[in-house]
Amino acid sequence: MSNQLYINEIQILFDAVQKSKIFEDQKMMTDAVPLFPIAEINGKYEQEKDSPGFDLKDFVMAHFDFLGARVSVQREDHFPIGQHIEKLWDELTRTAYEEKGTLLKLPKPYIVPGGRFNEFFYWDSYFIMLGLQVSGRVEMMENIVENCAYLIQNTGFVPNASRTHFLSRSQPPYFSLMLELLSETKDDETIYTKYHDILEKEYAFWMSGEEETERGSGIRRVVKTQDGDILNRYYDTENEPRPESYLIDIEDQENASGEEFYRNIRSACESGWDFSSRWFADGEHIQTIETLNLAEVDLNCLLWHLENTLAKSSGLQNLSDKENYFTERAAKRRHMINKYFWDEKTKIYRDYHIKKNTKTPSEHIAALYPLFLGIADQEQSQAVAETISEKFLYPGGLVTTTKKSGQQWDLPNAWAPYQWLGFKAMKNYGFVELAEKIKNNWSSNVERVYKNTGKLMEKYNALDTETIAGGGEYPNQDGFGWTNGVYLKLQQN
């Protein structure tokens, strides 16, 4: 029997389980491992479901294993935070040498975020690597890169996370940044040439559809502006409820205003920002989500880095045609980033609305990317630094947007990745005092929560440093991969 499970193979049973809410967390059923062949489980379900006394939960528990549902360890001993993180690296290490249920197999061990997230996540892994670098765990950094390369080689991209139901989308493309980090750690440039073909393959995934795209519209992850310029957007090939948030999506869709509600929801998940007022046409309600109409500043900056990295790896191999090609593409994209995302009036980078041919009203922390990657000029960086200081920096760290919507990627939550991006962005342009303030505000928040709870959280409340963060589709998780990584890296800087 194959151990690989695609949710659509158990769709009728799955639908019943998710709609009956027998598990508090909808992710439980997506992570379940069938104990018998799928056809046999489906047959028995059809046979028994209408019989008197049939209990759905008993049936599911008898036919599936829930290995993935690890309970977080409650420790009696309270180590200093750094020591605690060192222990967590081992606790968060997993292997998947064979397929189990929806879990994809991977060639190397990896680190999971923690809590309910018990699989390999793409962009989380970069921020985890920052901490592994500080901990001297170079082999695990190499494992992460190898796993990403394996996924790109075998599926054409790195899925959102290593499960079959994530094979329709990726996450922010951080692979080129992972290589840069590993190359810097090992002082070895051959890493770029070793993974050159993988970089090209990932680039082809993001640029697929470029030739056919019409002005003012998009195909897959590529959009063409009214002026005929090429930009990128987040996208998902499926237009149906997310299995891991099945019931929530079905309920939200009932009052949705736009077309392709499910695809818009899923496409926002590709950004890692699930969810935020950033994606909502009215800035308030998830039912107005319009991710597909936007070209995003963070994505385009990351693809600029990928193009730049491809130019570099081509140069190292004396592939002058390719080096010229990618150098030109990177230069063109740099120009586009300033043309489409820089808002001269409010002095911040914003996303771009393809249909309306205008910048979106949402003010958000992804404006840091052009500074994080060195794309902004000194004048722009000065303006962004002032905006960040005035509108985004709170006692507990940097918030993601200036809007309080109840969504987890909005005010008042502070997320680890953006504390590192903010710190690094400000250091790049010489705003050392602001960089230190970002680092200290968030780090002290992390330390306070750790002191009170013994845990490192997925996200933090930046405004009220007396409480723990909330909002979103599930409770705040502890573990937590990227928090551990960014905390260690900031302490070292």
Residues 374 and 488 placed together within one structural domain of the fold: yes
Q: What is the pLDDT of residue 77?
A: 66
Catalytic annotation, pick one of 180, 202, 363, 458:
458
From 45, 65, 85, give the residue that closes a domain.
65
Is 31 a domain residue? yes
Q: Is residue 18 part of a domain?
A: yes
Asked if the structure places residue 198 within a domain, the reply is no
- Kindly state the tokens that stand for 26: 């909808």
String of DSSP letters for 245-257 = GHHHHHHHHTT--
**CB distance 421 to 366 below 8 Å:** no
458 classed as catalytic: yes
User: Tens-digit pLDDT profile for the chain (493 aa)?
Assistant: 467 999 999 999 999 999 999 999 999 999 999 999 999 999 999 999 999 999 999 999 999 999 755 555 555 568 999 999 999 999 999 999 999 999 999 999 999 999 999 999 999 999 999 999 999 999 999 999 999 999 999 999 999 999 999 999 999 999 999 999 999 999 999 999 999 999 999 999 999 999 999 999 999 999 999 999 999 999 999 999 999 999 999 999 998 987 899 999 999 999 999 999 999 999 999 999 999 999 999 999 999 999 999 999 999 999 999 999 999 999 999 999 999 999 999 999 999 999 999 999 999 999 999 999 999 999 999 999 999 999 999 999 999 999 999 999 999 999 999 999 999 999 999 999 999 999 999 999 999 999 999 999 999 999 987 877 777 888 888 889 999 999 999 999 9
Does the residue 393 lie in any domain?
yes
What pLDDT was estimated at residue 73? 53
Residue 263 lies in a domain: yes
pLDDT of res. 78: 81
387 and 487 within one domain: yes
**Among residues 230, 261, 292, which one ends one of the domains?**
292
Catalytic residue among 274, 290, 323, 343: 274
User: Does some domain include residue 125?
Assistant: no
Co-location of 487 and 372 in the same domain: yes
pLDDT at 2: 64
> C-alpha dihedral over 28, 29, 30, 32, to 10 degrees?
90
N-term to C-term CA, the chain: 51
Return the ∠ at Cα 146 (arms to 144 and 150), rounded to 5°.
Answer: 120
Residue that finishes a domain, picked among 20, 38, 65? 65
Nearest to 162 by CA among 238, 244, 105, 107: 105
**How many domains, the chain?**
3
Tokens 């009728």 sit on residue: 12
CB 203 within 8 A of CB 157: no
Query: Do 469 and 372 reside in the same domain of the chain?
Result: yes
The question of whether 466 is a catalytic residue gets the answer no
Q: Is residue 27 part of a domain?
A: yes
CB count, 10 Å around CB of 344?
10
Alpha-carbon dihedral sign for residues 476, 364, 419, 130: positive
Does 305 reside within a domain? Answer: no
Q: Are 14 and 101 in contact (CB under 8 A)?
A: no
Give the domain extent around 265: 246-292
Distance of alpha carbon 33 from alpha carbon 13, whole angstroms = 14
The answer to whether residues 35 and 193 touch, using CB atoms and an 8 Å cutoff, is: no
Question: Do residues 481 and 377 both lie within one domain?
Answer: yes
Specify the residue for token string 């090429």: 230
